[in-house]
Structure 1
Amino acid sequence: MKCPLSAGVFTQLAPSRVFMESVDMRHVLKWRPLQASCSTAVLYSVQFQGEFELSVLNDSWVDALECQLTSDPRCDLTDDLGSDSDYRLRVKAKCGAATSAWTELSPPFNRRDTVLMAPEMSVMAVGDSLQVSFGKLPLNADVRVTVWRKDQEKAVEYWMPAEQRVLSVSGLQVAQYCVRAQTVLKDQNRSDSTNEQCISITGPCFYCEKCPLVQTPPWRKPTAVLLSVVFTAGFLLAVFWGVAHCHPDRCRTFFRKEPLPHSLKADWVIQIPISPEDAELCELIQVCSDCPSEDL
């Protein structure tokens, strides 16, 4: 259905039932799709105006870049609504050359009003510690973790920023402990608490491979170094003492001198050739390492 706006100009019906669906700081603007007859697809465009656009940009509206001329009757504005101010939001429809008027969200939206869901939590015992892990958490939120020993009523609260994702509670006694948590935004908006999860602590764990978060005792490393030094010094001292006090006969047994191989002995014959005129001066010289020291 179209209605005349002025002579020769028609406008499309405006979107209706515009509302914001915001869960865990994910903000999605939605509206009812138009049922008007149109030869082409109905396209939608979204704009927003926050405190910055109102005061600094002279009351201007800014296009939501991911939601311009889109056929999807929804717009994810999570990245656009970047402050805790009140935002005015509006949407219009376009069918061919016909464009509707803007339909504005009422009342304005503030991201602090997002609906917080109970966080996804898992608890694991690591030695004498509890490791509490969380799934995806809302931006700019905190997590309040409550821990108590099951046989006692006294509980301890821990606060953790959402970016941390993992909380470790160490130094616990051998007993059963229970944990529950909830998401908190600006101390005003809170989620429901998780169901309590209970797990048993069996004691400290210094050397097992399954205890990556439990550090080894501080004395272990220097003690290992000292023992290595003492062992090495004792071994060297024993070797030097044994060499210094070794009996000659026993030393010959352990340090026996092997004879030289025959190929290394100097027992070959050297013959010096001379001319015929000096034949009478030719002598045979035998070099032998085992010969007695007497004239040849």
Structure 2
Amino acid sequence: MATRRSRKLLMMVVLLEFTNGVWTLPAPGTVSMDSVNMRHVLRWTQPRASCNSTVLYSVQYQGEFELLIKNGSWINAPECQRIPLTSCDLTFDLGSDSDYSLRVRAQCGSKMSAWAKFPFNRNNITPPVPELRVTAAGDVLLVSVRKFPLTAVTMVTIWRTDEEQQTKDYSMPADQEVLQVAALQEGAVYCVKAKVVLNLDVQSGFTDSHCVSITGPGAPAWKQPTAVTVTVVVMLGLLIGLFWSLVHCRPDSCQKYFQKEPLPSFLIGTVTVWIAIPQQREELSAVTVSRPLLRGGAT
């Protein structure tokens, strides 16, 4: 009996020494999560221990599926294995609304620290109010919001100012940059507001209302002043060019453009005109006149 106790005691001492030899590096401290604009970044502080080389860190996470279905297995964060940084972006790794366990450990050469754990659930994070931009192009309303991670959806509400009770809701996935609402009434004023939704229980507040006037289904509003400006510039350029040409035109050059061309020979001939001179006796005298035939003759 005493021999068995001695063996157990010796084994415990060996295991204790082995454990102390393995975990000679302290675990990272002050583990926290920064959730800003729907981005989840795990942060920690460097362990207080001397290390002759760069301290490297590895991060793992475990969701309910890994805990219950996969027998408590852990998943390596792909972008956060043996990194020298004290932060890890887990936005796209924490894609569900379940409870997560996160852990990070340090490594200095062959020395490994114990895991420092941190619980997390994104449902406890309130998403920020989106940044909204609203413009009108003809009879089309263009709504754009700041990009969020792929797990977020932006709900956009639109209404006419004279029909505030009749609103229409539109859903914008995170990968959609612009929402276009066409065939709106010309001359009417439409207002827009939006919010970010993770699920029915987690959503941001609404933005302030942004209102714009619809110009009509013709050319976009920006094209009208642009066309007028281009026309004025072109006409002004033509007038300046014409004035410069007249001022700086040499006489011999200008004469080419303004010289008088002679009449063709077949238009010039001799015409006999009879003129009646009243006397006691009516006599006719013949007068020969040479002039262009274009002017005709008179009797």
Task: Give the TM-score band, short-chain normalised.
Answer: 0.5 to 0.7
Alignment correspondent of 1:148: 159
Contact 2:46–2:86, Cα closer than 8 Å, also in 1: yes
Which residue of 109, 116, 119 maps to 2:120?
Answer: 109
Matched, 1:181 2:191: no
Contact 1:180–1:196, Cα closer than 8 Å, also in 2: yes
| 1:173 Cα offset (Å) | 4.1
Alignment correspondent of 2:180: 168
TM-score, length of structure 1 as denominator length? 0.61
> Runs of 5+ in structure 2 lacking a partner?
1-15, 224-299
Q: Distance in 2 between matches of 1:164 and 1:172?
A: 25
Contact 1:129–1:172, Cα closer than 8 Å, also in 2: no
Look up the SS of the partner of 2:65 in the other structure. Answer: helix
Residue pairs, 1:187-202, within 5 angstroms: 187-202=200-215
Amino acid at match of 1:76: D
Alignment correspondent of 1:135: 146
Residues 113-153 of structure 1, C-alpha deviation per residue, up to 9 Å, x if partnerless? 44422223221112223121223133233322233334664
Amino acid at match of 1:123: V
Which residue of 22, 25, 30 maps to 2:43?
Answer: 30
Alignment correspondent of 1:99: 112
CA 1:192–1:211 in 2, change beyond 3 Å: closer, same or farther?
same
Alignment correspondent of 1:225: none
> Runs of 5+ in structure 1 lacking a partner?
213-296
Amino acid at match of 1:127: G
Matched, 1:203 2:216: yes
Larger helix proportion, structure 1 or 2? 2
Look up the SS of the partner of 2:30 in the other structure. Answer: strand
Alignment correspondent of 1:90: 103
Residues 252-285 of structure 1, C-alpha deviation per residue, up to 9 Å, x if partnerless? xxxxxxxxxxxxxxxxxxxxxxxxxxxxxxxxxx
| 1:72 Cα offset (Å) | 0.3
Residue pairs, 1:257-272, within 5 angstroms: none
Q: Distance in 2 between matches of 1:153 and 1:80?
A: 41
Instruction: Give percent identity, aligned residues only.
Output: 49
CA 1:144–1:83 in 2, change beyond 3 Å: closer, same or farther?
closer
Amino acid at match of 1:109: F
Alignment correspondent of 1:293: none
Look up the SS of the partner of 2:141 in the other structure. Answer: strand
TM-score, length of structure 2 as denominator length? 0.60
Alignment correspondent of 2:132: 121
Amino acid at match of 1:166: V
Matched, 1:62 2:68: no
Contact 2:158–2:168, Cα closer than 8 Å, also in 1: yes
Contact 1:118–1:193, Cα closer than 8 Å, also in 2: yes
- After superposition, the CA RMSD in angstroms is 2.7
